[in-house]
Structure 1
Amino acid sequence: MKIPFNKPFIVGKELYNIAQAVVESHLSGDGPFTGGSIGTGGSIGTSMILCFT
């Protein structure tokens, strides 16, 4: 059995979010999705810094 590396796993609104980012021209950092991701990282409860690439 081959493991599907680098194959996107779509379970929800991923394609909608990608389309929204393209339409709003937020294809780099400091957009609405970055802010949402940073907000969820703080709910982990540890003192870690998330690094997005």
Structure 2
Amino acid sequence: MTLSGKASLSISEIADRLGYSEASRFDRAFRRCYGKAPNAKRWSCSPDGG
């Protein structure tokens, strides 16, 4: 996910850019897909975010 790697964007901004009406909906979808919160994914050590 390219947008989550941009530290200057908040989770709300990422959710909005992806078309979510609420950041909480994006958070739930992200957790279902990746098994952790968007913030945890953002600070992953691997270059591809995984």
TM interval, shorter chain, is: under 0.3
TM-score, normalisation: structure 1: 0.26
TM-score, normalisation: structure 2: 0.27
The structure having more radius of gyration, on CA atoms, is 1
